[in-house]
Amino acid sequence: MLTGVIIMLTERQLIILQVIIDDFIDSARPVGSRALSKKANLPYSAATIRNEMADLEELGFLEKTHTSSGRVPSEKGYRYYVDHLIGPSTNPNEIRILEDIIQDGFFEFEQIVQMSAEVLSELTNYTSIILGPEMFETTLKQIQILPLSDHSAVAILVTNTGHVEHRSFTIPEKINSSDLEKMVNIMNERLKGVPIIKLQEVLHTEIALLMRMYIDDFEKSFDYLKAFIVTDNPVKLYIGGKSNILMQPEFNDVDKIRSFFTMMEKENELANILKNSKNGIEVTIGNENEVDAIKDLSLITASYHMAGDHMGTIALLGPTRMEYKKVISLMKGLSNEMTDAMYMWYRNDD
């Protein structure tokens, strides 16, 4: 996001820019020179401030909504604000709530992610989106099939991270229940410890052959289980506080609300946006976003890690007029917590 030319702003311009943005973030109303001149930390007259504002506008940091309105930060202004005007973030207290939950160790990682999404949205009134951990490191712990009745059973699959996937199914007449058992035994023997993402591969190369030898009418049963084991989408999306964003004054228009909600329903698209995010905290403001649907919003992403590898992404979606300072420190804190939580679950594989 570096421009070729380094723009020099005077000390006073910096302060004024900062105050304007802070004020606008807080009030959502264009800020005028008169109001600014009254602020304690700005001992200049309205006229002086007007001049500075005109300069800042010329430089592209500010905009007017119409000729005689107060100034509003431009996207470039926000960008400068985020890059240079917000101090180092301090780990905020709010995060403690999550810290406790995570330390408890009582919840599965997935639940922690879900809660984090909700808490994050609750704290900010923006919409949070969390991309669940990718399953590179996740391995199969156990497959189990439990008959419920003559004709139905439930299959349960557990990973080393404590993730449980289950599905009920009816047992087709043709399938012999002892065959099923044999099959599950073979699978458990051979698939234990295999990474989830390689499951399908191993299933085809190693297991299929083996089974064909031992089991009558193998094909049918195999297809059946395969559908279950080769689980749907490996990465899950958790969305928190879709309706919290209605609190934001920029959503004062029914059409905006509608289009926001329709956008949030396209989970694939969202997932793609997040997948492309880089490591660390990343702030994307308005048109910096490549996806049209959020070109008038800001997106903040932070990733959490495992042994340096990118594992998942936390994101917060809100109006460009976002409380960047607060949000960034929150996200940093949360990303640390998540990384810790990852560690707790993944450290002792067997």
Query: Of 131-150, which residues contact its own copies (CB under 8 A)?
Result: 141-142, 144, 146, 148-150
Q: Which amino acid is at 151?
A: H
| Joined tokens for residue 60 | 């592209």
Contact call for residue 151 and its own copies (CB under 8 A): yes
- DSSP line for 77-94: HHHHIIIIIS-PPP--GG
Task: Tell me whether residue 82 or residue 245 sits nearer to its own copies (CB atom).
Answer: 245
Helix, strand, or coil (residue 101)? helix
66 is a contact residue toward its own copies (CB under 8 A):
no
Closer residue to its own copies in complex, CB, 94/122: 122
The verdict on 41 binding DNA (CB under 7 A) reads no
Q: What does 287 bind: DNA, its own copies, none (CB cut-off 5 to 8 Å by kind)?
A: none
**Torsion over CA: 201, 203, 206, 208 (sign):** negative
Buried b (16+ CB within 10 A) or exposed e, 85-118: bbeebeeeebbeebbebbeeeeeebbebbbbbbb
Should residue 243 be labelled a site residue for its own copies when binding is judged by CB under 8 A? Answer: yes
Alpha-carbon gap, residue 262 to 185, rounded angstroms: 45
Q: Give the count of residues interacting with DNA (CB under 7 A).
A: 26
The CA distance from 162 to 140, in Å, is 10
Specify the residue, 214 or 251, whose C-beta has the smaller distance to DNA: 251
The total number of residues written for the chain in this structure: 350
How many CB atoms neighbour CB 292 within 10 A?
10
Instruction: Pick between residue 3 and residue 67 the one whose CB is nearest to DNA.
Output: 67
Q: Per CB under 8 A, which of residues 155..174 are in contact with its own copies?
A: 156, 158, 160-162, 164, 166-170
Identity of the amino acid at 170:
T
Phi, psi of 349 (to 5 degrees): -65, 160
Regarding 214 and contact with its own copies (CB under 8 A), the answer is no
Q: Does 70 bind DNA (CB under 7 A)?
A: yes
What, of its own copies, DNA, none, does residue 57 touch, CB below 5 to 8 Å by kind? DNA
Buried b (16+ CB within 10 A) or exposed e, 2-32: eeeeeeebeeebebbbbbbbbbbbeeeebbb
User: Does 246 interact with its own copies (rule: CB under 8 A)?
Assistant: yes
CB of 296 to its own copies, least distance (A): 17
Question: Is beta strand 152-159 parallel, antiparallel or unpaired with respect to 140-147?
Answer: antiparallel
Calculate the CA dihedral of residues 134, 197, 230, 266 and round it to 10 degrees. 30
Site for DNA contains 54 (CB under 7 A): yes
Q: Is 345 in the site for its own copies (CB under 8 A)?
A: yes
Least separation in angstroms between residue 66's CB and DNA is: 3
| H or E stretch covering 208 | helix 208-214
Nearest distance in Å: CB 158, its own copies: 6
CB of 69 to DNA, least distance (A): 6
Minimal distance, residue 82 CB to DNA, in Å = 23
Task: Please give the residue ranges that form the binding site for DNA (CB under 7 A).
Answer: 12, 30-35, 43-48, 50-51, 53-54, 57, 64-71
Task: Please give the residue ranges that form the binding site for its own copies (CB under 8 A).
Answer: 104-109, 141-142, 144, 146, 148-152, 154, 156, 158, 160-162, 164, 166-170, 242-243, 246, 251-254, 257-258, 261-262, 264-265, 344-345, 347-350
